[in-house]
């Protein structure tokens, strides 16, 4: 009886071992398969590839449109080039007859244009309100602005006992003893002026003055050579 029990126990043990053995093998095989996959066949790494930047070809219109260019020419005589857009500004050069310059701007309050002075590294202004100038191109394409660097006033003062005439401009200056204020002086634009003594027969030229911005020139010697100080 005891022997039979021992044999039964052995058979049960064998059956238990056989039942457990396949599962363990499967688990080991599955585990081995996972290890082999990880070691020899790594999953591919996903890398984002940026899209190619498109190349934009120039259109026919932009490729064929020329740069706009507007010029002014001293057609019938010389043109004074001034520091600003107006006669009260200093003369800084001359655009000689037949010479052209590129227009780069225009003043919206006057008929003056800003130019690149030929063969110079600075700009200036010339008037287009004259028969001596000629425009080539579309002036409406040129940018406009208000020039705010205002000119300094200039004056000629008569300090003599005689009446004087100033040319150009046909200015008449009373003598220094006049009772009226400012009748013996006049505001003028920069330029060269001739002074004539109206009291001396023949009204001779007694002085030539070159006026610039901010200057006041006092005439102290009359046509007889007599000097008089300004009050």
| Angle (CA) 218 196 91, round 5° | 65
Q: Kindly state the DSSP code that residue 122 receives in the 8-state scheme.
A: S
**Confidence label for 8 from pLDDT (cuts 50, 70 and 90):** low
Average pLDDT over residues 94-102: 96
Give the number of other CB atoms < 10 A from CB of residue 1. Answer: 4
Beta bridge partners of 205: 196
**Diameter over CA atoms, the chain:** 176
Residue at token pair 């109206």: 198
> What would the two tokens of residue 65 be?
């449109």
Structure tokens at 28: 């080991």
pTM to 2 decimal places: 0.67
User: Which pLDDT tens digit goes with each residue over 21-36?
Assistant: 444 433 444 343 333 3
pLDDT per residue as tens digits for the range 165-181: 999 999 999 999 987 77
Q: Which domains does the chain have, with CATH numbers?
A: 71-145 (2.30.30.40), 154-219 (2.60.40)
CB 79 within 8 A of CB 94: yes
Q: How far apart are the C-alpha atoms of 100 and 115, rounded to whole Å?
A: 10
CA 9 to chain centre: 108
């Amino acid at each position: 009886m005891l022997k039979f029990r021992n044999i039964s126990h052995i058979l049960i043990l064998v059956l238990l071992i056989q039942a457990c053995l396949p599962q363990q093998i499967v688990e080991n095989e599955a585990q081995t398969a996972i290890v082999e996959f990880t070691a020899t066949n790594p999953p591919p790494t996903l890398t984002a590839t940026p899209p190619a930047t498109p190349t934009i070809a120039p259109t026919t219109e932009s490729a064929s449109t020329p740069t706009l260019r507007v010029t002014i020419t001293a057609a019938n005589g010389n043109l004074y080039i001034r520091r600003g857009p107006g006669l009260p500004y200093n003369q800084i050069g001359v655009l000689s007859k037949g010479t052209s310059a590129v227009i780069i701007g225009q003043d919206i309050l006057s008929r003056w244009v800003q130019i690149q002075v030929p063969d110079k590294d600075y700009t200036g202004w010339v008037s287009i309100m004259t028969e001596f100038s000629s425009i080539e191109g579309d002036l409406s394409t040129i940018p406009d602005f208000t020039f705010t660097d205002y000119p300094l006033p200039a004056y000629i003062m008569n300090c003599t006992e005689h009446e004087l005439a100033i040319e150009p401009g046909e200015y008449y200056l009373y003598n220094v003893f006049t009772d009226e204020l400012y009748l013996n002086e006049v505001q003028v634009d920069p330029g060269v002026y001739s002074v004539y003594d109206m009291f001396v027969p023949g009204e001779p030229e007694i002085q030539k003055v070159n006026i610039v911005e901010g200057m006041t020139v006092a005439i102290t010697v009359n046509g007889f050579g007599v000097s008089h100080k300004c009050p």
